[in-house]
Amino acid sequence: MGVNRVHNKKKAKQRSVLLAVSILLISVASFLSISFMEKQQKKILPTAVPEYGIQGLGFGVELSQIPVKINTDYVHYSDRVLEVYHANEENKKNGMTFIESFMNIIPGSITKSLILVPTRIAYEDEALKYSDDPLITINAIQNGIDSNITTVDVDSVFQARKEEYLFYRTDGGWTSLGAYYVAE
């Protein structure tokens, strides 16, 4: 029995040493692997230059200033299309009547707010000469509706951030960024 006991102690010691060496090897391998991965990651990190600049164009690209085509409804540029606004007194009156009719449905205990958003052409000085100014109509509607209706001043928000991508380039609608700024 004494021989078996010595033999078992020897085997246990060998297993302990083998386990310690295995743990050491795994630790070294893990360290080397992490070190290698960090070096590789540094190589593939994106550059600090953004892919897109303002207005949804490539970084550093400016909007064209010369129209390619102009017709009664649109001003076409090489990089965007602007909808021409046609002021119409009858449509303005009908719009005001509709807004007030709709707001009258809402109970008086509820706060009533109105946001009238102009088209992009209102913020492009060179293109505005081909269009009636939508801001004039918006101001007339806001000044002519019931004083219980709170109007949101979109124009001052957009004027302050005129150079940012507030409107889509091929659509009269505002971008999520434009809506975010107004909601602020």
CA 30/CA 24 separation, integer angstroms: 10
Q: What does the domain layout of the chain look like in residue ranges?
A: 1-45, 84-183
What confidence tens digit (pLDDT) does each residue in 34-84 have? 766 666 665 565 555 556 666 677 777 788 889 999 999 999 998 889 999
Please work out, in degrees rounded to the nearest 5, the angle formed at the alpha carbon of residue 63 by the alpha carbons of 61 and 64: 115
Eight-class DSSP state of 131: S
What confidence tens digit (pLDDT) does each residue in 39-51 have? 666 556 555 555 6
Q: Which two tokens stand for residue 38?
A: 């960090």
Least confident of 26-30, 95-99, 134-138: 26-30
